[in-house]
Amino acid sequence: MRDLVDPVDPVVDAAEAAPFEDAGEYRAAVERIRGAAEAYYSGSDLAMDDATYDGLMARVLATEATRPEWKEAGSPTEAVGAGGGVVGDIVHSEPMLSLDNVFGEDELRKWAERLEKILGRPVSGYTVEPKIDGLAIAARYTDGVLTLVATRGDGFAGEDVTAQARRAAGLPARLRQPVTVEVRGEVFMTDDDFVAAQAMRTGNGEPPFAHPRSAAAGTLRAPKRPYDAPLSFLAYSVHGIPEPMAQSAAMAWLAELGTATTAYSLCATVEEVKAAVEAITAARGTLGYGVDGAVVKADQPADRAGAGSSSRAPRWGVAYKFPADTRTTKLLRIEVQVGRTGVITPVAVLEPVQVGGVIVTSATLHNFEDLVRRNVRAGDTVFVRRAGDVIPEVTGAQLDLRPEDSEPFEPPAACPRCGGEIDRSQKRWRCTQGRACGANISLEYYVARTSMDIEGLGDRILQAVVTAGLVTDPADLYDLDVPTLAALERLGDVSATKLVNNIQGSKSRPLSRVLTALGVRMMGRSMSRRLAAHFGTMDALLAASVDELQRVDGVGPERAVTIAAELVELTPLITKLAARGVNMTEPRGAAPAASASALPLQRADGSPMTVVVTGAVPGLTRDEGNEAVERLGGKPSGSVSKKTDLVVVGDGAGSKATKAEQLGIRILPADRFATLLQAHDAGDQDAVADILA
Ligand SMILES: NC(=O)c1ccc[n+]([C@@H]2O[C@H](COP(=O)([O-])OP(=O)(O)OC[C@H]3O[C@@H](n4cnc5c(N)ncnc54)[C@H](O)[C@@H]3O)[C@@H](O)[C@H]2O)c1
Ligand SMILES: [Zn+2]
């Protein structure tokens, strides 16, 4: 996990956040937070993404620290769930609190140090659990029978959601022992159930859910609906027992009672906590449900009692937050792509945005039926979700922000590649030409000079062999013989022989050429060379996991996922080419040029440039801006001095920009910086060099 090995500024740090300069702005922010929290906990449309919410909250906290006289009674900074939870009439046996957040290893350490200071002794062990991205409930059992389920509400009283909660998988109607206890845990929706819930909901003419968590909240709080979206439950604490238990013992007991429980690790030291958080980070995305962090808790009841709680959150536990998996951004346009097999899909082209720690520039819109149902349009502010190693998806649009002149999306009437008819009999539309639809284009690409470099095989001959049905994919080229070609094109034996020799001769090209020739998306010439040099053989490349692909310079998570998916799709063709005798290895010593591995913000000697980001960078929060600097090989800094190498200046930049000018330090406009980041992530060395030239 990057944060742990390489600590950077926390994403949200109240001490770092800029306080509001006038009371009116402060009050407006408080109102926005209240509104957002209300929407968030009620399960209706999200008003903003979590990063924006957390950023706003940090500024409000900073303002309250510097201008305590402005602070309102009942400020959202002091209330459970910012006071946005729907209060019901079920009074909790003991308050259901929020958790304080830490972002990164440094803050985790500080939190643990503070806890030891409060206790005046070392903490006797921690548990680390995944932080399930759902909503908290309290489930009361009487003599082992489920009788009442309530939401967190304002922390003191919540709503009765017994009827809907009974349907949550993992929350048994009867425990295995006839005990009277209160079980608390998270109700959430798995990724698969979310897909099913979206279909049910839009199928009923209702707008889609923005996120699995709002789907879970909306479903749990819903009065009877004509459809029942599936819910799940994982327990993480037990209450109303005579003697408080260690957290680890409580989890074991909950499992014995028959409730589903979150996984946990028992850790003796902060070092071990770190490792456990790292393990959860690594597993995130493979769990099949949303995890927005890790929860670290003092294990022993004595430590918990010693630390106590504030009105909002316990001091004995903390949430280690992960980068958000859902963000909002602008949908620039909707492109229609035709795949190799003729599948036609809509793809969202997005203003770059960081989701789950990755810059995302495009996302799937699934299929046309779905797109029309979701009513997403170019110009919309959309929610983009990235769950682990899957292609990011647009889950929905923020309809209140839709531009007035926006137009509904028109699905294509004909195949955008060949103009042929579209087969709409299935959800996934296809060009009726199937594989033949793209044959000409992929053949031209295959034989091109920068690919397999097959001389003499021009458009005319390619067209002829395709039309004659002799060739549908590049591997078929190797079956062409002299008599066939000579007859077809009246080439004459000499020319036909030469052509066949050229085709056969291409079999010995290095792997990097083969990779280029396949026309893999997000894998141009220089990327093909790097992959070939790194893996050496096609087999090794095909066997590489998404993680292993990312070890190659310039391959970020988005690219790794695309390349892996593309290679799977291309495997039949690759096998066919290998069977024809096409070389699938890279000669040793064909390593890419050294410059390819240097990062853009490194000095000539390889040391990091000192870079100050001031003002807004499009698509990034300030901390993401600093993270981006690190990713590009630089060292982020907060102040401009003679030692600064580069200052990135965006909207709202102030004295730092002026100072940079005075000192004659190089200035890069923020939009250029965003483009640089994109080019770097896309492995486009030329564009990177252009921007920094
Ligand atoms: N986008 C928005 O408009 C918006 C609005 C409000 C809140 N939020 C998000 O919610 C966060 C604040 O939420 P909060 O105050 O509800 O608390 P929280 O999410 O920070 O932490 C407390 C909650 O964590 C949950 N949890 C999950 N797994 C757990 C485990 N293993 N052990 C204990 N608890 C576990 C419980 O529901 C508990 O109530 C903000 O940081 C923000 O990101 C977003
Ligand atoms: Zn077509």
Annotated binding residue 393 = no
Cβ atoms 522, 678 nearer than 8 A: no
Closest C-alpha among 382, 351, 390, 365 to residue 677:
351
99 lines ligand 1 (CB under 6 A): yes
Give whichever of 321-335, 341-355, 486-500, 528-542 has the largest mean pLDDT.
Answer: 528-542
How many residues would you count in the chain? 693
Annotated binding residue 418 = yes
Which ligand has the shortest distance to the CA of 211? 1
Does 656 have pLDDT greater than 90?
A: no
Q: What DSSP string runs through 463-520?
A: HHHHHTTS-SSGGGGGG--HHHHHHHHT--HHHHHHHHHHHHHGGGS-HHHHHHHHT-
Q: In the chain, what are the domains?
A: 2-83 (no CATH), 90-321 (3.30.470.30), 326-429 (2.40.50.140), 434-508 (1.10.150.20), 511-595 (1.10.150.20), 598-692 (3.40.50.10190)
* Residue 3 or 440, more confident: 440
| Residue 617 pLDDT class (50, 70, 90 cuts) | confident
What local confidence, expressed as pLDDT, does residue 525 receive? 86
Does 111 have pLDDT greater than 50?
A: yes
Cβ atoms 394, 382 nearer than 8 A: yes
Judged by average pLDDT, the poorest of 276-285, 447-456, 661-670, 677-686 is 677-686
Mean pLDDT, rounded, for 542-564 = 89
Mean pLDDT, rounded, for 247-273 = 97
* Residue 623 or 586, more confident: 586
48 lines ligand 1 (CB under 6 A): yes
> Distance between CA 560 and CA 523 in Å, rounded?
10
* Residue 197 or 147, more confident: 147
- Partners of 65 in the beta sheet? none
Q: Where are the beta strands (DSSP E) in 545-629?
A: 610-614
> Distance between CA 293 and CA 358 in Å, rounded?
16
Q: 342 alpha carbon to ligand 2 midpoint, in Å? A: 6
Judged by average pLDDT, the poorest of 5-19, 135-149, 255-269, 499-513 is 5-19
Q: 339 alpha carbon to ligand 2 midpoint, in Å? A: 9
319 lines ligand 1 (CB under 6 A): yes
Average pLDDT over the chain, rounded to an integer: 88
What local confidence, expressed as pLDDT, does residue 388 receive? 64
Does 572 have pLDDT greater than 90?
A: yes
The widest CA-to-CA distance across the chain, in whole angstroms, is: 97
Q: 223 alpha carbon to ligand 1 midpoint, in Å? A: 24
Count of C-beta atoms within a 10 Å radius of residue 522: 18
> Distance between CA 218 and CA 418 in Å, rounded?
44
- Burial of 436 by CB count in 10 Å (0-12 exposed, 13-18 middle, 19+ buried)? middle
SS (H, E, C) 162-222: HHHHCCCECCCCECCCCCCEEEEEEEECEHHHHHHHHHHHHHCCCCCCCCHHHHHHHHHHC
> Distance between CA 60 and CA 75 in Å, rounded?
9
The secondary structure element, H or E, covering residue 430 is: strand 429-431
- Determine the residue of 13, 80, 98 to mutate for testing ligand 1's pocket, defined as the one with the most ligand atoms within 8 A of the Cβ atom: 98
648 lines ligand 1 (CB under 6 A): no
* Sheet of strand 135-142: strand arrangement: 145-151, 135-142, 181-188, 232-239
Does 389 have pLDDT greater than 80?
A: no
Q: 286 alpha carbon to ligand 2 midpoint, in Å? A: 35
Give 343-358 pLDDT, tens digit per residue.
999 999 999 887 876 7
Count of C-beta atoms within a 10 Å radius of residue 642: 7
> Which atom in ligand 1 lies closest to the alpha carbon of residue 134?
37
Judged by average pLDDT, the poorest of 523-537, 584-598, 628-642 is 584-598
Does 12 have pLDDT greater than 50?
A: no
What local confidence, expressed as pLDDT, does residue 352 receive? 85
| Residue 11 pLDDT class (50, 70, 90 cuts) | very low
> Distance between CA 151 and CA 220 in Å, rounded?
9
Helix/strand/coil for 135:
strand
> Distance between CA 290 and CA 231 in Å, rounded?
13
Which ligand has the shortest distance to the CA of 342? 2
Annotated binding residue 297 = yes
* Residue 222 or 350, more confident: 350
What local confidence, expressed as pLDDT, does residue 259 receive? 98
Which ligand has the shortest distance to the CA of 429? 2
Q: Checking DSSP bridges between strand 610-614 and strand 393-397, what pairing results, if any? A: unpaired
* Residues with a known catalytic role: 131
| Residue 595 pLDDT class (50, 70, 90 cuts) | very low
- Burial of 420 by CB count in 10 Å (0-12 exposed, 13-18 middle, 19+ buried)? middle
555 lines ligand 1 (CB under 6 A): no
What local confidence, expressed as pLDDT, does residue 603 receive? 81
Closest C-alpha among 385, 270, 360 to residue 318:
270
Ligand 1, atom 26, lies closest to the CA of 131
37 lines ligand 1 (CB under 6 A): yes
| Residue 404 pLDDT class (50, 70, 90 cuts) | very high
- Residue 598 CA to chain centroid, in angstroms? 26
Annotated binding residue 53 = yes
- Determine the residue of 44, 46, 52, 53 to mutate for testing ligand 1's pocket, defined as the one with the most ligand atoms within 8 A of the Cβ atom: 53
What local confidence, expressed as pLDDT, does residue 592 receive? 46
Give whichever of 90-99, 337-346, 380-389 has the largest mean pLDDT.
Answer: 90-99
Could you tell me how many helices (H) and strands (E) the chain has, helices first?
Answer: 24, 22
What local confidence, expressed as pLDDT, does residue 593 receive? 43
Does 590 have pLDDT greater than 60?
A: no
Does 286 have pLDDT greater than 50?
A: yes
- Burial of 492 by CB count in 10 Å (0-12 exposed, 13-18 middle, 19+ buried)? exposed
Q: Could you report how far apart the first and last alpha carbons of the chain are, in Å? A: 33
Annotated binding residue 98 = yes
Does 1 have pLDDT greater than 50?
A: no
| Residue 589 pLDDT class (50, 70, 90 cuts) | low
Q: What DSSP string runs through 281-313?
A: HHHTTTSSB-EEEEEEEE-SHHHHHHH-B-SSS
Closest C-alpha among 206, 362, 227, 217 to residue 290:
217
Count of C-beta atoms within a 10 Å radius of residue 274: 21
Q: 230 alpha carbon to ligand 1 midpoint, in Å? A: 21
> Distance between CA 549 and CA 572 in Å, rounded?
20
Does 226 have pLDDT greater than 50?
A: yes
Q: What DSSP string runs through 219-242?
A: HHH----SS----EEEEEEEES-S
Q: 419 alpha carbon to ligand 2 midpoint, in Å? A: 6
Does 6 have pLDDT greater than 50?
A: no
What local confidence, expressed as pLDDT, does residue 239 receive? 96
Ligand 1, atom 16, lies closest to the CA of 81
Q: 444 alpha carbon to ligand 1 midpoint, in Å? A: 53
Which ligand has the shortest distance to the CA of 36? 1
Cβ atoms 452, 443 nearer than 8 A: no
Give 416-464 pLDDT, tens digit per residue.
988 999 999 988 899 998 878 888 888 998 999 989 999 999 888 998 8
Does 614 have pLDDT greater than 50?
A: yes
- Determine the residue of 31, 40, 234 to mutate for testing ligand 1's pocket, defined as the one with the most ligand atoms within 8 A of the Cβ atom: 40
Q: How far is CA 341 from CA 282, 437, 447, 627, in A?
A: 33, 8, 20, 39
Annotated binding residue 6 = no
Q: Enter the tokens of residue 200.
A: 């049910």
Ligand 1, atom 28, lies closest to the CA of 131
> Distance between CA 669 and CA 649 in Å, rounded?
5
Give 464-508 pLDDT, tens digit per residue.
898 888 998 999 999 999 999 988 877 888 899 999 999 999 999
* Residue 392 or 225, more confident: 392
What local confidence, expressed as pLDDT, does residue 10 receive? 30
Mean pLDDT, rounded, for 523-535 = 91
Cβ atoms 283, 140 nearer than 8 A: no
Q: Enter the tokens of residue 535.
A: 């893996």
Annotated binding residue 369 = no
* Residue 398 or 285, more confident: 398
